[in-house]
Structure 1
Amino acid sequence: MKAAVIYNKGEMPQYTDFPEPEIENDEQILMTVKASAIKHLDKSKASGKHYSSAADNKNGKIPGGDGVGVLADGTRVYALGVNGMMAEKAIVEKRRMVKLPEGIDNNIAASLPNAVAGSAIALRFRAGMQKGETVLINGATGFTGKVAVQIAKYYGAKRVIAIGRNGQSLQSLLALGVDEIISVRQDDEAFIAQIKKIHNETPIDIIIDYLWGHTAELLLDALKGTGSYTHKTRFVSIGAMSGDNIQLSAQTLRSFDLQLSGSGLGSWSREEVEKLFKEILPEMFELAASGQLKVETIDVKLEDIEKLWEMDVEGGKRLVVTM
């Protein structure tokens, strides 16, 4: 079969022939792959920089942790791969797949799950979001950020505040239900003042953070208390597009009611992952099929993987490899 194959960490995937995967137990099933999204997670694992990265495999490793395809009986599903998914065929686990509704495009279905996991789990399980709360999304102009905006609104957020760098993308979020936008392209003092003003007028209940780095430092500084009673804010770290480390003053940590947690591979419980597959993903696929959840993809062919792997994607879109 044809596949994208990486032989050493940090190298570009090669479009080449590769042995077909073999089923090893009764919990596995063969899938003909139709689409697999190129995500930051895939690139990070392929480069060896992600904490879940596996050791080098000199025989080659296929990237892509999930994808959409067709089973032998014709059923169209989204599934997690036992092996890589950027190939014509892949082995998937029966308990880690979701039947797709009619009306949803393969590429849209392939693009959604990582973003849904990176937003819905954080909102529902880490932040314990309730209807009527105010949610701030740091890094809202990216693909997952745009999905998070829509899911927060769907879950009943009273106000959604979006932080981002791209001015045009920030403006486009207003059509998705964002109530207020904040640009990081302003000086630190102005940024902090804007956050403080919002927090004083409508206390921020939840921060969903995809950036970390300096913007996270500014957010925590803006919420710093002065010794009086404070509003509880649940801060959930999901990504680190602005840097992996921050400076956090002990005084800041002690000065206001802060719940700081992370959401990612390894932090999710078995029960949460089961709900993701049984409840959350099916619901989100239905929303996308009906046009209530909107995303944009850039579709590329498997044979073009070598020249498109490092392609810069702007405007909160996602690259999807089609087979």
Structure 2
Amino acid sequence: MKAAVMYQRDGMPQYVDFPEPVAQKNELLISMKAAAIKQLDRSRASGKHYSIQNDPEQATIIGGDGVGVLENGTRVYAVGATGMIAEKAVIEKDRMVPLPAGIDDVTAAALPNAVFGSAMGLRFRAGMKKGETVLINGATGFTGKIAVQIAKYYGAKRIIVTGRNKQTLQSLLALGADEIITLEQDDEAFVAQIKAIHSRTPVDIILDYLWGHTAELILSAFKGQGMFTHKTRFVSIGSMAGDLIQLSAENLRSVDLQLTGSGLGSWTKPEVQELLKKILPEMFKLAAAGKLKVETVSVDLKDIASLWDLDIPGGQRLVVTI
């Protein structure tokens, strides 16, 4: 079969012939139709992601999830037991979601990772309730744009977003954002704007896709003055601006702050089951009905080497069709 194979970390995936995988007990063989290329895939392929840092370097099919057709004709989204950017893949029986008729393969392949990176944080780490105010730091990427829509769907009263791309920031207003904050301004102005917003409408939840310096600034803006403070739940999801921050102990003592993360190793088995059984099916139906906007750029599997590092602007998701 043809597949996108990474032979060495920090290299380029190659479009080559590769042995077809064989399903074992509790697994199924799937004919792949589409798979998204995400930051997670690039990070794992380079060996930099924490989930595979101790794995041996070997020829590996890239892609952790995607859309395909089972041998009985059922079209599903699934998480792979083998690499998914290939003509065939193996999946676990309990890690797939049947797709509604109204959603196309490319959209269905693009959406799930963004749901993982937003709904899980809102539902399980922040415990979001209707009527709360949500700040999304780094909302101009694909996952951030989906997060705006999901926060609105879950009943957010007010949504504040940050980002660098001015055009994309403006487009978030049409998706449900109420106020935008540019990251292009100087630190003092950025902190002052955060403080002003928080004083007018206390922020209940922060979804952070950047970490690094912007997270430091936001946390400093929330530092209290020794009086009773509003409880804010800060959920770290990504680290596009850097993996480390400096956090003052005063930040933790002076404000009612809940600091947590949402990622592969932080979810419980019941939470993952709810994701697969309830949350993802609900989001697929919303997308099929046109109530969730998903922007994609699709490419053919045979062109994987030349398109691996393709810069996709404006918060779109790159999807490989097979």
Shorter-normalised TM range: over 0.9
Matched, 1:253 2:248: no
Structure 2 gaps of 5+ residues are none
Counterpart amino acid of residue 131 in structure 2:
G
- Structure 1 position 252, deviation (Å): 1.5
- Deviation per CA, 1:287-318, whole angstroms, max 9, x where unpaired? 00000000100000000000100111110001
Q: Is this contact kept in 2: 1:8–1:56, CA < 8 A?
A: no
Residue 36 of structure 2 aligns to a residue in which SS?
Answer: strand
Q: TM-score, normalised by structure 2?
A: 0.99
1:1-323 paired onto structure 2 within 5 Å: 1-25=1-25, 27-53=26-52, 55-58=55-58, 60-323=59-322
Alpha-carbon distance in 2 for matches of 1:9, 1:189: 40
1:56 CA drift (Å): 3.4
Q: Deviations over 1:221-275 (max 9, x none)?
A: 1101111110000000000000000000111221100000000011100000000
SS of residue matched to 2:233: strand
The percent of aligned pairs where both chains have the same amino acid is 69
Query: Aligned letter for 1:272?
Result: E
User: Helix, strand or coil for the counterpart of 1:307?
Assistant: helix
Q: Secondary structure at the match of 1:85?
A: coil
**Following the alignment from structure 1 to structure 2, what is the Cα–Cα distance between the partners of residues 56 and 10?**
14
Contact 1:96 1:277 in 2 (8 A): yes
RMSD: 0.7
CA distance in 1, matches of 2:23, 2:223: 54
Does the Cα contact within 8 Å between 1:7 and 1:56 map onto a contact in 2?
A: no
Letter in 2 for 1:168: Q
Counterparts of 1:289 and 1:303, CA distance in 2:
28
Q: Which amino acid aligns with 1:62?
A: I
Q: Distance in 2 between matches of 1:274 and 1:8?
A: 34
Q: Distance in 1 between matches of 2:250 and 2:151?
A: 31
Mapped to 2, the partners of 1:304 and 1:244 lie a distance apart of: 32
Q: CA deviation at 1:57?
A: 4.2
Question: Aligned AA for 1:22?
Answer: V
Looking at structure 1, the residues matched to 176 and 260 of structure 2 have their Cα atoms a distance apart, in angstroms, of 26
Instruction: Please state how far the C-alpha of 1:9 moved relative to its aligned partner.
Output: 1.3
Moved >3 Å (runs of 4+): none
- For 1:280 and 1:37, locate their aligned partners in 2 and report how far apart those are by CA, in whole Å: 19
Q: CA deviation at 1:176?
A: 0.2
Name the CA distance, whole Å, in 2 between partners of 1:248 and 1:162.
22
**Gap regions ≥5 residues in structure 1:** none
User: What letter matches 1:147 in structure 2?
Assistant: I
User: Secondary structure in 1 aligned to 2:247?
Assistant: coil
Per-residue Cα deviation, 1:112-154 (whole angstroms, up to 9, x for no partner): 1110011000000000000000000001000000000000000
Give 3-state SS (helix, strand or coil) of 1:157's partner.
Answer: coil
The superposition leaves residues 5-27 of structure 1 with CA deviations (integer Å, 9 ceiling, x where unpaired) of: 011211110100000000111x1
The TM-score with structure 1 as length reference comes to 0.98
Q: Secondary structure of 1:198's match?
A: helix
The answer to whether the 8 Å contact 1:46/1:53 transfers is: no
Distance 1:177 1:267 in 2: 28
